[in-house]
Chain A
Amino acid sequence: MWQYEKKLQYPVNIKDPNPALAKVIISQLGGPDGELGAALRYLNQRYSAPCREVQAVLSDIGTEELSHMEMIGTILYQLTRNLSMKEIKESGFDVYFVDHTTGVYPIAASGVPFTAATFQSTGDAIADLNEDLAAEQKARVTYDNILRLADDPDVRDPIKFLRAREIVHFQRFGEAQRMVQDMLDSKNFYAFNPSFDK
């Protein structure tokens, strides 16, 4: 189970609202490589992980992703405070506003609502962990692109923190993958599914 802590993992304090920026950062909430998808990917894959260490890595990184989802939600909330109708129309935020006002809703920047179709849980630890390694790199690329689009230091600072976490998670998943490979036939890591074939 989980317990909520009334604090952010890393501070988010944005002075200047910027709905146009919120429109692109929202992809890290509900987009194909966003934090919600990351949390659900790891927290569902963990049941079939073949050893306690990998179950722990998936549980704990999945949990951290929930705190990242909260940071992105906070960035979106603070970027869309006190907007005038003129700002909403001119920034292009009107296409989001019409359905959600300034509520936080998980969609990709392109407008596609969050979908579980962006991730897998195969029941095979080697396949899942390879997806997880790719997922961390894809999320890192999205943060790189957000940093190319965002000038405001109040926004860039927490985004840089989140970007760095993708790299640490990639490292930990690499170790988890090596651990699973060590449990397998070293001549052919892919000879059997360590979670299913006993």
Chain B
Amino acid sequence: MPILNDKQKLMRQIQNCSFALTEANLYLDSHPTCPMGLEYYAKHKKEYDELMKEYAEKYGPITVGQSSTDKKWSWVTTPFPWERGES
């Protein structure tokens, strides 16, 4: 594994958490009343929201809604994820 900088480490945490949400989402679609599934989703959703907020504040927006609107539209100042080192 390559050595990751702080920004990449935070992105990995977001990807891990986001993956847990995707898995729980698909599972809950076919098991909508499973208490363990619901609890798992809620726990990771809380963590995900916190990580997304932290990332946007430190490194820029992941969604358009997080883009800055004072002086400059930060959506176009940060790289897209297909560039090496940006995912």
Contacts and interface: CB of A to CB of B under 8 A. Distances in A.
A61 B23 CA distance: 10
A125 interface: no
| SS class, residues of chain A in contact with chain B | helix
- Which of the four size classes fits the interface of chain B? 20 to 34
A3 B63 contact: yes
Contact of B82 (A9, A64, A70, A168): A70
| SS class, residues of chain B in contact with chain A | helix
A7 B29 contact: no
Contacts of B31: 175
B68 to A, nearest CB: 14
Contact of A176 (B22, B30, B82): B30
Q: Which of B27, B29, B61, B81 has the most CB of A within 10 A?
A: B29
Interface residues of A, number: 31
Contact of B14 (A4, A7, A12, A176): A7
A53 B32 contact: yes
A77 B82 contact: yes
Nearest to A157: B1
A64 B15 contact: no
A70 B82 CA distance: 8
Interface of A: 3-15, 53, 56-57, 60-61, 64, 70, 73-74, 77-78, 81, 168-169, 172, 175-176, 179
Given A6-B62, A53-B30, A172-B26, 4 more contacts: A8-B82, A53-B29, A60-B26, A64-B26
